[in-house]
Amino acid sequence: MRLFVDSANLEEIRTAASWGILSGVTTNPTLLAKEDPTVDIRQRLKEIHAIVGGHISIEVVSTDTAGMLREAEEIVSWLPEAVIKIPMTPEGMAAVRELARQGIPTNVTLVFSPAQALIAANAGARFISVFLGRLDDIGADGLQVLGTVCEIWERQGLEAEIIAASLRHPMHLVEAARLGADIATAPFRVLQQAMKHPLTESGLHSFLADYHRLQEAQARARQVPLVL
Ligand code: G3P
């Protein structure tokens, strides 16, 4: 399972990219709205792509098919590698079909059920983002939905790649991998949490303390005069 960061924050993206674990970035209008409004959005997205390379999903904000297609055309004119993020609506599916015909990859977003995932696959989506956390937030079971989607994909041999999205904690990452998601897109905080373990921290602390004790003992031993 590949890892993407779900962020539009340059500092977070630079840091996560420096760890060498990222295969891409997903953004959405909410994430972009959290950042400095004086920075041109195009500039920010181009910079994000320059940092990470690989996949970058950029979401359209039109709700009609023609508007989505215009936005997609505009986005690929300044970032040809962009994957166009399209909402799971009838108008969105028509846009996905047309973009697939033009060879422009899409990521269908706001998918909350296996039925929606199947529809998106049939429209020709290259990626499908199944939201986990937002389902959990309303008392539903995001991982159960993802599990059913992955089971259907296996049984039917479907090609669209499944992105586990809307992650809230490291166990979402672990379970998404166990269920067979192709990609997980995680907030920076979840990637940080996933790397940490108290035993790693205490283990490293005692290795370093023991190493310093050894160095001091060796220095002391070198100062002891040889008695013949
Ligand atoms: O980018 C799509 C998705 O990951 C958003 O997640 O945290 O807003 O539910 P969230």
The yes-or-no answer on residue 85 being catalytic is: yes
- Asked if residue 195 has pLDDT above 70, the reply is yes
Tokens of 110: 């706001």
Closest CA to 148 of 113, 175, 121: 113
Structure confidence at residue 60 as a pLDDT band (50, 70, 90): very high
* CA 227 to ligand 1 center in whole angstroms: 71
Beta-carbon count within 10 A of 225 CB? 5
* Ligand 1 site-directed mutation target among 32, 86, 131, most atoms within 8 Å of CB: 131
Structure confidence at residue 223 as a pLDDT band (50, 70, 90): confident
Closest CA to 141 of 168, 108, 103: 168
- Asked if residue 225 has pLDDT above 90, the reply is no
**How high is the pLDDT of residue 228?**
67
Q: Which residues line ligand 1 (CB under 6 A)?
A: 6, 26, 28, 129, 131, 133-134, 165-166, 185
**How high is the pLDDT of residue 37?**
93
Of all protein residues, the one whose alpha carbon is nearest to atom 5 of ligand 1 is 166
Share of the chain above pLDDT 90, in %: 96
* Chain mean pLDDT for the chain: 97
* CA 203 to ligand 1 center in whole angstroms: 34
Q: What is the pLDDT of residues 141-182, one digit of tens each?
A: 999 999 999 999 999 999 999 999 999 999 999 999 999 999
**How high is the pLDDT of residue 210?**
98
Q: In degrees, to the nearest 5, what angle opens at C-alpha 52 toward C-alphas 48 and 53?
A: 100
* CA 127 to ligand 1 center in whole angstroms: 15
- Asked if residue 226 has pLDDT above 80, the reply is no
Q: Residue 130's beta-bridge partner residues?
A: 111, 164
pTM strictly above 0.85 = yes
- Asked if residue 26 has pLDDT above 80, the reply is yes
**How high is the pLDDT of residue 152?**
98
Q: What is the pLDDT of residues 63-118, one digit of tens each?
A: 999 999 999 999 999 999 999 999 999 999 999 999 999 999 999 999 999 999 99
E strand segments, the chain: 2-6, 24-26, 55-59, 83-87, 106-111, 127-131, 161-165, 183-186
Length of the chain: 228
Distance in angstroms (rounded) separating the CA atoms of residues 121 and 128: 8
**How high is the pLDDT of residue 227?**
72
